[in-house]
Chain A
Amino acid sequence: MEPLNIAVIIKLEPDFSEGNVSYNPDGTLNRAETKNTLGPHSAIAAEAAFYAKVKYGANIFIGTMGPPIADLALQQAQEISDAKELHLYSDRAFAGADTLGTAEAIRAGLGKIEENLDLVFSGHRASDGETGQTGPQVAWKLGFTFLGNVISYDVDVEKRTVRAKRLVSLQGVDVVIEEVEAPLPVFIAIDPSFKSNYKTVSERLAFQKYKKEAHMRAKGYKNYLKVFNVEQLGVDPTLIGLPGSPTIVYKVERVPKSTATRQVTVVDGSNPEEIKKVVIKMREALLAMVIK
């Protein structure tokens, strides 16, 4: 039986965790000062791939498009997933791409994995772009069945099918969980609420073993790293970067604030007379609320 071959696409993103974010005086993100890290949704995608490694002994490959420092995100994702190869698609020509131009670069990049892929994972959305478009767009370019908002999945390795639970939330309608089955190859955009669940002793032992292996590999991650530029990927330069992007960001402005309807009075808390006034005010306000 052939082992499953699984790819995870990830993204290096600004670190929005406490203490790592830096803002400009006008409240916008200071990108130069803010640290970068593996995106939180990318981390969940790596965890979802690791689940298949533990359960089915899968081979894991990780790909990302980004600047040379994006190897940091690859290393972090290897620590989570015990990937055997890390692929970085890095070229000035990729810069400025929207989701369509990015999807084309990643499609070409995934083609550099020598094995035939059975499953590809992506995060729900990036925390800096928040479009959630790149995953499904890569899926469509690969010709894989796309399953989004997946909260749990299992593979029937004999039948080569995936069974997955999806969270479907529609605006103005109750959220439902949908169970679907699809033949491999499948592209899964993993939902933030995904949790790995290892039930048997053998799964837990495998978990421990691969976690150790992942830690060792991530320490020497450069041994697993391959970097590809546009030429090496053999991608059409008019389909990537700025030329391959239909959309542009035309302007960025502050969200207009609604005008405040409430008023503030500052009270000196050390003065009992002032406090009495507050209590009287509160009584009045509460009485006004009583339905007579």
Chain B
Amino acid sequence: MSEEKYRHLYVVMEIENGKLIPVSLEMLGEARRLMDEFNKKYSSKEKVVAILLGDNVKEVSKTLIQYGADAVIIAENPELKDVRNTIYTKVISQIAQDSKLADQIEEEYAGQIKKPRYMFFGADSIGRHLSSTVLVELDSGLASDINQLIISDLKITHQHKTAGNPITYEKTLEMYRPDFSGFLWTTILCLDNKNPNFPRDYFPQACSLFQEFLNQ
């Protein structure tokens, strides 16, 4: 089974003057809700993992656990005090592909995990750009400004992805975003290429989230 190559939901935190910004904590709450439902539905034990970069930020890890994270990965260094896209992209991408870290999160699948299944960023000046560059590095798909999320099994028939045949994609993240006209709501999916001509896995399924999210 290729199933165990991609597990867990990684949520990238943002910290400003030593304080977690509101959208980060709200994303954790949403991540908790989604993964609780996911684990119940699929009889699984996948985790919510918070990622935090900065200088002297360790003390907030307790808060992250309180707000819904199962595990916290922290990268601390004076060079990470201010958010700079290049270094942040490299560190986050490395964390997302670090199998030793994944082994500590869930020993049962030690040595198997390649990347997270899902990944969240905040939809602001930092998260929008960071998510874009990280997802190039991880070579997967991204949707921005999302305000609703559902995980489900979807039967998809797509000219390219499935070469026109119906295929069921399990545990797919449906990412809803309000569209430019203001009238429409578009659902974005990040799907593996199951076209036999050039099959390719696309993980994590990633998005940046709006704060209005939880106010609905």
Asked if B129 and A248 sit within 8 Å, CB to CB, the answer is no
Task: Give the segment of B44-52, B55-63, B68-76, B174-182 that binds chain A.
Answer: B174-182
- Min distance, Cβ A203 to any Cβ of chain B, angstroms: 30
| A 130-145 binary contact with B (CB < 8 Å = 1; else 0) | 1111011101110001
| A 14-47 binary contact with B (CB < 8 Å = 1; else 0) | 0000000000000111000000000000000000
Interface size on B, residues (CB 8 A): 57
| B 80-105 binary contact with A (CB < 8 Å = 1; else 0) | 00001110010000000000000000
Asked if B126 and A27 sit within 8 Å, CB to CB, the answer is no
Judge whether A168 is part of the interface by a CB distance below 8 angstroms: yes
Picked from B139, B158, B181, B190, the residue with its CB within 8 Å of the CB of A28 is B181
Task: Give the segment of A96-104, A108-116, A278-286 that binds chain B.
Answer: A96-104
Judge whether B28 is part of the interface by a CB distance below 8 angstroms: no
Judge whether B65 is part of the interface by a CB distance below 8 angstroms: no
Picked from B85, B128, B191, the residue with its CB within 8 Å of the CB of A132 is B128
Judge whether B67 is part of the interface by a CB distance below 8 angstroms: no
- Min distance, Cβ A128 to any Cβ of chain B, angstroms: 6
Task: Give the segment of B3-11, B29-37, B112-120, B142-150 that binds chain A.
Answer: B142-150
Residues of B within 8 A of A238 (CB): 198, 200
Q: How far is the CA of A245 from the CA of B161 in the complex (A)?
A: 9
Q: How far is the CA of A255 from the CA of B185 in the complex (A)?
A: 5
Task: Give the segment of A51-59, A79-87, A169-177 that binds chain B.
Answer: A169-177
Judge whether A251 is part of the interface by a CB distance below 8 angstroms: yes
Q: How far is the CA of A99 from the CA of B145 in the complex (A)?
A: 14
Asked if A253 and B21 sit within 8 Å, CB to CB, the answer is no
**Chain A facing B: main interface SS:** mixed
Asked if B136 and A137 sit within 8 Å, CB to CB, the answer is yes
Asked if A130 and B180 sit within 8 Å, CB to CB, the answer is yes
Output the nearest chain B residue to A144 by Cβ-Cβ distance.
B86
Asked if B132 and A249 sit within 8 Å, CB to CB, the answer is no
Judge whether B186 is part of the interface by a CB distance below 8 angstroms: yes
- Min distance, Cβ B153 to any Cβ of chain A, angstroms: 13
Q: How far is the CA of A243 from the CA of B194 in the complex (A)?
A: 10
Judge whether B122 is part of the interface by a CB distance below 8 angstroms: yes
Asked if A98 and B86 sit within 8 Å, CB to CB, the answer is no
Picked from A137, A249, A256, the residue with its CB within 8 Å of the CB of B133 is A137
Within 8 A of B (CB), among A243-260: 243, 245-256
Known A243-B193, A247-B142; contact A139-B159, beta-carbon cutoff 8 A: no
Known A243-B195, A246-B191; contact A100-B181, beta-carbon cutoff 8 A: no
Size class of the contact patch on chain A: 35 or more
Q: How far is the CA of A29 from the CA of B181 in the complex (A)?
A: 7
Q: How far is the CA of A172 from the CA of B15 in the complex (A)?
A: 12
Residues of A within 8 A of B139 (CB): 100
Judge whether B151 is part of the interface by a CB distance below 8 angstroms: no
Judge whether B125 is part of the interface by a CB distance below 8 angstroms: yes
Picked from A168, A243, A248, the residue with its CB within 8 Å of the CB of B191 is A248
- Min distance, Cβ B173 to any Cβ of chain A, angstroms: 11
- Min distance, Cβ B9 to any Cβ of chain A, angstroms: 17
Asked if B160 and A247 sit within 8 Å, CB to CB, the answer is no
Known A149-B125, A255-B182; contact A250-B187, beta-carbon cutoff 8 A: yes
Residues of B within 8 A of A255 (CB): 178, 182-185
Output the nearest chain A residue to B131 by Cβ-Cβ distance.
A133
Asked if A248 and B184 sit within 8 Å, CB to CB, the answer is no
- Min distance, Cβ A147 to any Cβ of chain B, angstroms: 8
Residues of B within 8 A of A98 (CB): 141
Residues of A within 8 A of B158 (CB): 248
Output the nearest chain A residue to B212 by Cβ-Cβ distance.
A171
- Min distance, Cβ B115 to any Cβ of chain A, angstroms: 13
Judge whether A129 is part of the interface by a CB distance below 8 angstroms: yes
Judge whether A161 is part of the interface by a CB distance below 8 angstroms: no
Asked if B178 and A99 sit within 8 Å, CB to CB, the answer is no
Judge whether A152 is part of the interface by a CB distance below 8 angstroms: no
Asked if B202 and A172 sit within 8 Å, CB to CB, the answer is no
Judge whether B64 is part of the interface by a CB distance below 8 angstroms: no
Asked if A247 and B190 sit within 8 Å, CB to CB, the answer is yes
Residues of B within 8 A of A249 (CB): 186-188
Judge whether B135 is part of the interface by a CB distance below 8 angstroms: yes
- Min distance, Cβ A149 to any Cβ of chain B, angstroms: 5
* B interface residues, Cβ below 8 angstroms from A: 14, 16, 21-23, 84-86, 89, 122-126, 128-129, 131-133, 135-137, 139-145, 154, 156, 158-161, 174, 178-191, 193, 195, 198, 200, 202, 210-211
Q: A180-B84, A252-B179, A252-B186 are in contact. List 6 more A-B contacts (CB 8 A).
A: A96-B160, A137-B132, A137-B133, A167-B125, A250-B154, A255-B185
